[in-house]
């Protein structure tokens, strides 16, 4: 069905990604690529001087590895970590990488930015591809 599926994920403790992975498996075409994207907030300039040298690069590599492992049941999966705000980063990434399907999940009781209903609404207005929303 789809050639490149984007799954924005939040690695919150206890986050259940199994439903999103199951949907991706069903929607993926024969040679489909699946990208699991985690968006990290930018570290303020004043705070970065207090972090160990290489902290961000090391953290990014660990998260990308974890994402690829999480998506291991899918073929041709990649974990990507970007910095910024999800409502800006996700549509930009989708456009630049020729994503033809985005799988989002809604959790109204969550206060996390990516899972909020308002963020989902903003993403829907900006994405130019198919969007599947899990509840």
Tell me the per-residue pLDDT of 7-56, one tens digit each, with 9 for 90 and over: 998 876 567 788 889 999 999 988 999 999 999 888 788 877 788 888 88
Domains of the chain: 2-134 (3.40.50.620)
Tell me the per-residue pLDDT of 42-96, one tens digit each, with 9 for 90 and over: 878 887 778 888 888 888 898 888 888 888 878 888 999 999 999 999 999 999 9
Percent of the chain at pLDDT exceeding 70: 90
pTM, two decimals, is 0.84
Report the chain's C-alpha Rg in angstroms.
15
Strands 77-83 and 101-105: unpaired
So what's the pLDDT on residue 129? 95
What DSSP letter does each residue of the chain carry, written as one string?
-EEEEEEE----TT---HHHHHHHHHHEEEEEEEEEEEEEPPPPHHHHTTSPTTHHHHHHHHHHHHHHHHGGGSSSEEEEEEES-HHHHHHHHHHHTT--EEEEE--TT---TTTSHHHHHHHHHH--SEEEEE-
């Amino acid at each position: 069905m789809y050639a490149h599926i984007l799954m924005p994920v939040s690695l919150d403790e206890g986050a259940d990604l199994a439903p999103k992975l199951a949907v991706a498996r069903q929607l993926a075409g024969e040679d489909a690529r699946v990208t699991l994207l985690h968006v990290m907030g930018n570290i303020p300039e004043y705070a970065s001087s207090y972090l160990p040298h290489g902290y961000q690069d090391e953290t990014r590599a660990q998260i990308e590895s974890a994402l690829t492992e999480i998506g291991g049941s899918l073929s041709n999966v990649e974990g990507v970590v970007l910095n910024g705000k999800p409502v800006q980063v996700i549509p930009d990434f989708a456009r630049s990488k020729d994503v033809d399907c985005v799988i989002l999940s809604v959790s109204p009781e969550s206060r996390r930015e990516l899972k909020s209903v308002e963020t989902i609404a903003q993403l829907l207005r900006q994405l130019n591809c198919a969007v599947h929303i899990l509840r």
